[in-house]
Each structure stands twice: as C-alpha cells, then as structure tokens.
Chain A
Amino acid sequence: MNATLRHAVAATALAACLAVPVFAAEPPDAQIDFGAFAPSDSGGEFVEVHIRSNLIAMAARLAEKAEPEVAQLIRGLQLIRVNVISLDDKNRAEMEQRVKTIRADLDARGWERIVTVQNPKEDVGVYLKLRGDEAIEGLVVTVIGDAKEAVLVNIVGNLKPEKLAMIGERFHIEHLKKLGPVAEPPKAN
C-alpha cells in the first residue's frame, strides 16, 4: 500500500510538473489573436502597438512620478495591442471580413458586446470579457471608420469598469470615452 501510494504521489507530481510549462505557455483567455496585418500598398497609415506585461510593468513604474493616474491605470495589465490599418480598394473587403470573423469569434467565446454602432460613417463594436460579476479581464474594440481605416484594440488584464472611460481618454479611443462611470459590466448569468 505504501509503495502504491508513493507511486501515485510521484506520478501526480510528475504530471503537475509537466503541466506547469503548458499552463505557463498558454496566452491569457482574453488575448485575441487578430492575426498579422500588413500596410496597404497605397501607403496609407499603418500603426501597430504590441506591448506585453514586462514592458507594461516597467512603464507603470516609470510613469509613477509623472503620471500616477496612468501608472495606476496600466499597472496589472498584461497586454496592450492596437492595430490601425488604412483602407483602400484593395484591402477594404478583406479587412471588413476579418473584423466580422473576429466579432463572430468573440460572440462564440462568450464576450459581452457592450457598444454597437452601425451607421454609414462607422461600424463599431466594443466587447468585454468578464471575470465573475465585477471584474473585467479583457477588452476588444473593433472599428471600421468611414471606409478609411480599421482599428482593432485588445487590452488584457485586470480592468475596473470605472477605468474604461479613463483608458478611452488617455489613449484617445472615442467610444470608450463615452462609456463614463455608467460602464458597469452586465451581470454574468
């Protein structure tokens, strides 16, 4: 019995050790793979920002003195990803399709769509990934603006609802600015 117990404990410990690297390698649930983007051949604007937790933590530390609000805002974030791609006749259809696919994927994965704007000038979706009733684990913003540019934003980390408007303010994301203090996450069922 003792030998059996020892073998069982050893096997469990071995399985746990093997599992840890797998868990460590998994990206956070709220991280969305938008895929790779390329600048348009017409030379329009292309912006890509991809900042991971190591640099975010350093930026929070550095911003502490000059911008304590920003430091508090970004501390605890794991990923900030922004893509701005200008649209032309060659890539518009492809980008619209990609945004549709991303939105469908978010809906399928249980993300809450909290802002929807669809008019001739812009097509906007703002999604939240909830953790429990009060915490937000991730944010995705998709914008196809005025047929001129597509914007994709993914922020992963410990987000408080009241901070969403501040994120919009600080990073000039219009549709988040408007959320204001009323942006409470819908209660998870």
Chain B
Amino acid sequence: MSPPLNTPAFRAVRGSVQTILLGGLALALASVVLLPLMVPAALYLSLRPSGSLDVVRQAVARSARVDLEPEIEIALRPAACALLRAGAALADHPPELHAALGAVRAVEVGVYQVASSKLSAKPRDMLGDIDRAMAARGWERVVGVMNAGDMVAVFAPQKIRSHRDLSLAVLVFDGSRLVAASIRGDPEAVIDLALEHAPRHHAPRLALTR
C-alpha cells in the first residue's frame, strides 16, 4: 500500500528530488554557458610560453640591461601536445611522426631580439643572475659555456621524478639575439628515434677539454 501523498515523509522526499533536479539543471546551464568560454581559454593557456622561458628572458634582459623584443614564441604545453597526438592518431602519418609526437610532452621556443643598440652586460654577472633566477623555479645549470661574448647554458630540474619524463631548458645568447627553449618528454624514446635515423659514426662525443 503506497504512502499517502500528503505525509511529511513524502513531502521531504519530494523536496529532495526537486532540489536535486534544480541543481542538475543549474549545472547543465552553467556548463552550456561556461564551456564555450573554457575551451578557448584552455587553448590559450596551453599555447602560452610557461614561466621558465619568461624567467630566462627577464634574467638576461635585467642582467644585460637591454630590452628583448620577441621575434618568435611557440609553446605547446602538455594539453596541446596531447591534442596533437590525438589528431595525428586519426590521420595516416609515417610512424616516425607518431613516435616523435609520443616522445614529446611539451615544447617551448622563444627567439628574442635585443632592442637597444648597446649591450652593457658583464658575462661574469649574467650567468650568475640567470642561475639564481632559474634556481628559484627549481632548475639547476648542468652546462655553461661562454666564449667571445656567446653564451650557452643548459638547465635540468633539480628533482627528476621519472626517467621517462625529463625536462631540459637551453638558452643561447650572442649579444644580439636570445634563443630560449625547453622540452619535456621521454628521452629514451627520443634517443631511440634519433638512433634509427642518425648514422652511428656521426654521434658526437662529449669533449670536456682540448
């Protein structure tokens, strides 16, 4: 025998159901309104250069007391790379492209031109300034080379979480142009790919001294 429709228990149940239905409707409406805004926002954020490249650019600009105008800035963060992989999977591409896309999780490149005509940096100060700025973001320099006004520095994260997920940042500065790049990916897969396509005897040797 079903309970009478006018009892407090039935009214409480009906109230809860109405609340749930109204909540679900509100959520659906919010999604419909917000989703069109979230998609371009997510795309914008996934294509913007990350803080690390900004840090490098600002450290060089501050230390050298120059203005750096961006010539090229390309950023593919993990979400964008994932979209690329998904898109590539649907098309018929060579397996090397799939392997390359699978190996790289994020890549950023920035090329900047020195806007002011006079470079007033002391090389000895620049490397130290950049080291401090990158250390604050969890990077440490593993290689630094300076010669006749050119500077090359390679940074790796202070903590490496996994051998299949390595990030590296490289900067090259010749006094008139700065190139900063960072890449995150599976180094083993990248090397496998390189070995398949590079002749063995062309593999460079590491030379630490003359």
Contact = CB atoms under 8 A, between A and B. Distances in A.
B2 to A, nearest CB: 66
A135 interface: no
Contacts of B128: 38
Given A50-B141, A62-B188, A172-B207, A55 B123 contact: no
B144 interface: yes
Contacts of B141: 48, 50
B205 A62 contact: no
**Chain A contact surface mostly:** mixed
Interface string B123-158: 110011000000000001111111111000000100
Contacts of A65: 191-192, 195
A44 interface: yes
B6 interface: no
Contact of B142 (A45, A51, A174): A51
A46 B145 contact: yes
A151 interface: yes
Interface in A123-181: 143, 151, 153, 170-174
Contacts of A58: 160, 163, 166, 187
B208 interface: yes
A51 B208 CA distance: 13
B209 A151 contact: yes
Interface in A1-59: 38-41, 43-51, 54-55, 57-58
A67 interface: yes
Interface residues of B, number: 33
B122 interface: yes
B143 A48 contact: yes
A82 interface: yes
B203 A172 contact: no
A151 B209 CA distance: 8
B208 A66 contact: no
Given A41-B124, A43-B148, A62-B188, A172 B208 contact: yes
A45 B206 contact: no
Interface residues of A, number: 32
Contact of A41 (B122, B147, B163, B188): B122
Given A38-B124, A38-B128, A65-B195, A170 B206 contact: yes
A13 to B, nearest CB: 28
Contacts of A151: 209
B147 A67 contact: no
Contacts of B149: 43
Contacts of B156: 55
B157 to A, nearest CB: 9
Contact of A39 (B124, B143, B160, B188): B124
Given A43-B148, A46-B144, A49-B143, A66 B191 contact: yes
Contacts of A100: none
Interface in B75-123: 122-123
Contacts of A49: 142-143, 208
Interface in B29-87: none
B208 A153 contact: yes
A111 to B, nearest CB: 20
Contact of A170 (B140, B192, B205): B205
Contact of A62 (B123, B124, B159, B187): B187
Top 3 A-B residue pairs of the complex, sorted by shortest distance between their CB atoms: A38-B124, A46-B146, A48-B144
6 contacts: A41-B123, A45-B147, A62-B188, A66-B191, A82-B209, A170-B205
